[in-house]
Amino acid sequence: MSYPTDRPATWFVTGASRGLGLELVRQLLERGENVAATTRSTERLTNALDDVDTSRLLALTVDLADQAQVNRAVAATTERFGGLDVVVNNAGYGYLAAVEEVSDDDARSMFDVQVFGVWNVLRAVLPRFRAQRSGHVINVSSILGLLSFPGWSLYAAGKFALEAITESLAAEVADHGIRVNLVEPGYMRTDFLRPVSLGLPTDTNEAYPAVREMVEQHLGMPGTQLGDPAKAAAAIITVATSGAAPLHQILGSDSLGLAAGRLQSLSDDVEASRPLAATTDIPEAPAA
């Protein structure tokens, strides 16, 4: 158990000015924890927390794709609070488009946040965690890190990559006393599906009417999602404080159902693959 019980814990949370990240920061401050929160707008973050004691908040404007900025943010966190205990890589945004409609710039921008930004944070914090032989990394993925749908290729690609990084990381740092978890929420009642947090392609293709229909359905979804971001934030705190969560912590009944379906379809594919798979081995040499 690496979560401190004799003092306030220090958290580093990315993507903190909206949605799940904002709710997590709010609850941590209400618990009396120290919080370094990265955002593209510290003003928006502090305004959203005007009803909370922010004396333990360090709000940081950080471009996560810039390693030097991330390093400075982590250094500022440890200088202000004297240490670091939990890192939550939460920053991200949605994007809906057919594969053919995703521009190179949009693809690289998504990976800058969801993949390279996470890598920059990990490179900045892991040396400290190893030195102190404690620390906890919680990477916020999505049910779309386990499966994908038409129109979600770019977003899911980033989350699939995050899942791979996290699984490798968990095995690599276990002997250093560092804990690692993935959190995989379903749809939550945040701004994720509103224009402020959702990317759309500049040019669309009439060859994909089903994708256009899916986009319209999702744009009409806000306010109907099952997931409560306040409860999801509380669940992330439980993951950190309990020490009992699995590597893949699913959140939301919708995610549970989709994950179960993914397991079944993957199992079906494994069985269907078996006859051809066995034909590609190099035969064993006959015994002398």
- Report the catalytic residues: 141, 155, 159
Query: Helices marked H in the chain — which ranges?
Result: 19-31, 42-48, 67-81, 104-111, 117-132, 153-173, 209-219, 229-242, 253-277
Cα 213 from Cα 96, distance rounded (Å) = 11
Spatial contact of 14 and 117, defined as CB atoms under 8 Å apart: yes
Spatial contact of 85 and 36, defined as CB atoms under 8 Å apart: no
Bridge partners of residue 221, in order along the sequence: none
Give the contacts of 232 (CB within 8 A, at least 6 positions apart). 20, 23, 183, 185, 188, 251, 252
Cα 168 from Cα 107, distance rounded (Å) = 23
| DSSP element (H, E) containing 250 | strand 248-251
From residue 214, give the alpha-carbon distance in Å to each of 210, 227, 235, 266: 6, 20, 30, 24
3-state SS of 144-187 is HHCCCCCCEHHHHHHHHHHHHHHHHHHHHHHHHCCEEEEEEECC
Give the contacts of 22 (CB within 8 A, at least 6 positions apart). 16, 45, 48, 49
Bridge partners of residue 88, in order along the sequence: 13, 138
* 101: exposed, middle or buried (Cβ count in 10 Å: 0-12, 13-18, 19+): buried
